[in-house]
Amino acid sequence: MAQSQPSFRTSTHKPRLAVFATFGAVWVFVLLALGAFTTSIGAGMAFADWPLSNGSINPEGWLKDIAMFAEHSHRLSGSTMGLIAIGLAVWLHRTESRAWLRRLGWAGLIVVIVQGLIGGQRVQLDAMHLPGFQMSLGQMLRVPHGVLAQLYVCLLIAIAAGCSKSWIERAAPVSNALKKTALLCTGLVLVQLTIAVFMRHNAAGLAIPFFPYSTADHQLLPPNWDYRVTLQFAHRVMAVVLAIALPILVIMVRRDRAASLGMRFAASALFSLLVLQIFLGAQIVWTFRKPDVTTAHVIVGALVLATTFWLTWSAHRDAIEQPSAA
């Protein structure tokens, strides 16, 4: 016979928990920004040891050297993210009656632990080279590290949304067409960001040094192809796909009478982010990958994912809550 739920677990709105979950969802962008900047300036190996930096949690000169500052700040922000993940998982486990939300809290903690281990192995295995590969094993680990970071953003958005008052108070269900379109768009954004991770860590950001065309004489297709050119061209093709798909999602949200005010605001923000992201993508080529422009492009890309995912998660709110059980 199933045991009754402890009285301290409820599905009611908990303002302090909601604020803490939102803080976690915001902090992950601090972590992403520092990670993106570290990669943009090539500072991933500013320290050859891990988890300490030059054997210290406060290495000498790290506030004066830009490479050391970028990498050590990334490590410190990652440690902070770990503490937030622990607090969030425990808080949800102790006070939240919705099993799916408790599971998301523990899943987030597991992802943070895995991310920390991958980040550490990226440093420790940097000198290990595999036959037939240009990158070392440590350098290869940058790819799963970058992909998993995007999935973690979605996890935190899901948790923060589930803790919010607007989520708990419920809203009229949106159309099935909107739900499917939002889900498709989230998948497309994830594909695009995965391509971007591979491109970024294979030094393919300028594999096609012209924009919007692929050649100086305005040809759409590159004259020569290799792995890096293919990644860059695939990234541009997906950008065109998203430039069509995301505005369609925005229009559908705006037209759906059941869409909340928050969803309508997010849809408008998504369109603005899309325009900004395309502009930054062009600037990367035109400025030959200036670190600040490249970093901004990564951050805005994560914001596009977060906004699209939040719209999708909100659209499926009733289906998510329906099987809710302790």
Q: Is the pLDDT of residue 74 over 60?
A: yes
Tell me the average pLDDT of the chain: 93
Closest CA to 101 of 38, 41, 50, 161: 161
DSSP string spanning 196-227?
HHHHHTTT-TTSS-SSSSSSTT--SS-SS--H
Mean pLDDT, residues 60-89: 96
Q: Is the pLDDT of residue 266 over 60?
A: yes
Q: Which residues contact 16 (CB under 8 A, 6 or more apart)?
A: none
- Please determine, looking at this structure, whether the domain spanning 171-326 carries the CATH number 1.10.10: no
Q: Is the pLDDT of residue 31 over 60?
A: yes
Mean pLDDT, residues 222-245: 96
Q: Is the pLDDT of residue 1 over 50?
A: no
Mean pLDDT, residues 251-266: 95
Q: What is the 3-state secondary structure (H, E, C) of 163-188?
A: HCHHHHHCCCCCCHHHHHHHHHHHHH
User: Residue 203 — φ and ψ, nearest 5°?
Assistant: 55, 45
Q: Which residues contact 190 (CB under 8 A, 6 or more apart)?
A: 150, 151, 305
- Please write the tens of the pLDDT for every residue from 101-140: 999 999 999 999 999 999 999 999 999 988 888 889 999 9
pLDDT of residue 4: 47
Q: What is the pTM of this model?
A: 0.93
Q: How confident is the model at residue 323 (pLDDT cuts 50, 70, 90)?
A: low
Q: Give me the count of residues in the chain.
A: 326
Q: How confident is the model at residue 22 (pLDDT cuts 50, 70, 90)?
A: very high
Q: Is the pLDDT of residue 245 over 50?
A: yes
Closest CA to 151 of 190, 97, 93: 190
Q: C-alpha 142: how far from its chain's center? A: 14
Q: Is the pLDDT of residue 172 over 80?
A: no
pLDDT of residue 253: 97
Please, what is the Cα angle at 18 between 178 and 151, to 5 degrees? Answer: 55
Closest CA to 159 of 22, 11, 316: 22
Cβ 274 vs Cβ 242: under 8 Å:
yes
Please, what is the Cα angle at 239 between 39 and 138, to 5 degrees? Answer: 25
Mean pLDDT, residues 296-311: 98
Q: Is the pLDDT of residue 3 over 60?
A: no
Q: Which of 163-167, 182-186, 267-271 has the lowest mean pLDDT?
A: 163-167
Closest CA to 192 of 146, 246, 234: 234
Residues pairing with 96 in the sheet: 10
